[in-house]
Amino acid sequence: MKLKGNTIFITGGGSGIGRGLAEALHRSGNQVIISGRRQAALAAVTAANPGMKALELDITDPKSIEQAAKKLIAEFPALNVLINNAGIMSPDHVQKTVDDAQVSSIVTTNLLGPIRMTSALIEHLKQQPDASVINVTSGLAFVPLAITATYCATKAALHSYTLSLRYLLRDTRVRVLEIAPPYVQTELMGPEQAKDPRAMPLKDFIEETMRVLGTDADEVLTQPVAFLRNGAGPRDAEFTAQFNDRMAGEH
């Protein structure tokens, strides 16, 4: 995709990968609008990046999505890129009786949120001369981390949805891309993750992602995620067991 001259809406732009992408795209010469539920976080990001805009959004609420879409189209008619980034991740212990509120929140945020947000903006995006929908999935979309089973299932589903959406929009002006991050130093799973030496530094991830975004690639993959992307296949059950045994041994 082109890396400048866009009007870009990013969900979950107040922290982590969302903030990193928002700031990198802002520096590249795009109008960036970030969203999230934490007004203080949004205000901190926009204050640090003059010209960036923010919009409060509860990605779990269909009415909030509908209202946000109407506001975006009215105030930013040149909007041509949607980045579905908002997501939550937590251990869910599916080998036991699950916490229904927890798993429902993960599914609603990570899967229904992007589907609903895309639906609310897709007809507008079709009218733009050069548009993109970019879904942020995960390397765990291809090989699950068992202790976060519901999160991984939502990312696998979002990957599948992305493939379908790309096919269905193949004859339109809208490109559909997928960013599948590896384990990155953010606070997705808590403050400790941001300092974990096993995780890819956020700065390095953003730099590599921006480089790949500037190509014709439909999947934006960084080197540390390749083993997960390539591990899926006929032997995925065996690979999943090996991956989870290794991860368990590192804790």
Catalytic residues: 151
3-class DSSP state of 44: helix
The total of other beta-carbon atoms located within 10 Å of residue 167's CB is: 10
3-state SS record for 123-179: HHHHCCCCEEEEEECCHHHCCCCHHHHHHHHHHHHHHHHHHHHHHHCCCCCEEEEEE
Contact criterion met (CB below 8 Å) for 139 and 11: no
Q: With DSSP H G I counted as helix, E B as strand and the rest as coil, what are the percentages for the chain, rounded to 5? A: 50, 15, 35
